[in-house]
Structure 1
Amino acid sequence: MLEYIFFDERPWNRFVGFLQEKGLSPVADHEDQGYMVRLPEDTADGLMDDIEAFYDEMLDMNEALFIEEEGAGQLHTAGVTVNLKNGRTVQAAVDPKLLNRILEVVSAEELGRLVNAIVDAVENPDDRSICQR
């Protein structure tokens, strides 16, 4: 499943509407960590390019809304989902500005793969060098 996260309902709603206009049936939920949208990984590559481009636009909107609300003195938090070996899922707190900057250059899926690689290395340490593995 491909996952997309938003911290504001407005870009989330626009993203869901965009996906539905493209004939997709996204799974959209409001969860503790934010507003989530999930799509099957077998979504056509050409369509994925359009989806990623629109998601980037919605992240920009999300960031602009964040900055606007930050000026109003509201507290903002963000998190990254971490899947543990024992099946538990936990949230790692991340500065929202940092997370938005990261998501400007990598997709949510790529970030998830990176986080899961780190979790795997922590839970299953291998002292050999990378070239020996």
Structure 2
Amino acid sequence: MLDYIFFDLSLSGKFKDHLTKVGIEFECEDDKGFGSVQGEIISIADETSDEILEELQDLYDDLQDELEVLLEQSGDALMINAAGMEVKLKDGRLCTLRVSPDVVTKILTVLEFDELQAFIDNIARSVEEPDNGHFCHNVNKD
């Protein structure tokens, strides 16, 4: 399943309305892990076409921009303290890793987002396929 995380139920409602309108089945789950922030995770099938995924990502980005405006207007911008990075596991499933926003912000001061994503993917691969060999070795050796 592909997960979309929302911190505002009115915005997740807009996303669900769009999914219903275009005929995409989804599952919803309240996320208690957000602490005092009311959160919801909306999941859709992994097999969703790339074209639809692009459209959904654009909508999700627009809704995140709306969230930013809502938070600025309400003065609650500091209440949200969660960030996530998505990785594709060896079996093809996507997994969202919860990461401290402060850590992500600090890392993104020196890395581009795609570099950070590659780093996260590398960590996931290393966890799924541990290499217990010598750390230092000649990579050009046959």
TM-score tier, shorter chain, comes to 0.5 to 0.7
Greater fraction of residues in helix: 1
Classify the secondary structure of the residue corresponding to 2:120: helix
Change beyond 3 A, Cα 1:75–1:39: same
Aligned-pair RMSD on alpha carbons?
4.0
| Alignment partner of 2:81 out of 61, 66, 77 | 77
Classify the secondary structure of the residue corresponding to 2:24: coil
Identify which range, 28-37 or 113-122, moves more after superposition: 113-122
Report matched runs for 1:15-30 at 5 Å. 15-30=15-30
Largest Rg, 1 or 2 = 2
Match of residue 51 from structure 2: 46
Change beyond 3 A, Cα 1:21–1:74: same
TM-score by length of 2: 0.60
Among all aligned residue pairs of Structure 1 and Structure 2, give the percentage whose two residues are the same amino acid: 22
Classify the secondary structure of the residue corresponding to 2:122: helix
CA distance, structure 2, for counterparts of residue 52 and residue 90 of structure 1: 18
Change beyond 3 A, Cα 1:121–1:55: same
CA distance, structure 2, for counterparts of residue 41 and residue 114 of structure 1: 23
| Alignment partner of 2:65 out of 60, 69, 78 | 60
Do the aligned partners of 1:82 and 1:119 also contact (CA within 8 Å) in 2? no
Do the aligned partners of 2:68 and 2:77 also contact (CA within 8 Å) in 1? no
Please tell me the residue identity of whatever aligns with 1:55. Y
Q: 1:73 offset after TM fit, Å?
A: 7.5
Q: 1:68 offset after TM fit, Å?
A: 2.5
- The number of residues matched between the two structures is 118
Change beyond 3 A, Cα 1:4–1:42: same
State the structure with bigger RCO (CA 8 A, min sep 6), 1 or 2. Answer: 1
Unaligned runs of 5+ in 1: 84-88
Unaligned runs of 5+ in 2: 88-95
Do the aligned partners of 2:83 and 2:101 also contact (CA within 8 Å) in 1? yes
Identify which range, 119-128 or 56-65, moves more after superposition: 119-128
